[in-house]
Amino acid sequence: MKTKFISYSEHLAWIKEVEKEINKMSHEEFCDEMIKFGLKAKKVGGVKNLVFKDIK
């Protein structure tokens, strides 16, 4: 597994792409994806801080 370090400006573009995908999902699809992500993250050592907030 490789880690790619990206600049802050690239990071913002990446976040916007992910937001577009998330906004297309239903609540159930989003929850399923987060469960899959959590299981994958656990296998490779976990995620220290993963924070979600409500979108208004």
Confidence at 54, pLDDT banded by 50, 70, 90: low
Q: How far apart are the first and last CA of the chain?
A: 36
Q: What is the DSSP letter of 44?
A: T
* Arithmetic mean of pLDDT, 8-19: 73
pLDDT of 1: 53
* The pLDDT of residue 40: 76
Q: Domain tally for the chain?
A: 1
37 vs 43, higher pLDDT: 37
Average pLDDT in the chain:
72
The CB density around residue 30, as the number of other CB atoms within 10 Å, is 15
Full residue range of the structural domain in which residue 23 is found: 1-56
Q: Is the pLDDT of residue 55 over 80?
A: no
Task: Give residue 39's pLDDT.
Answer: 78
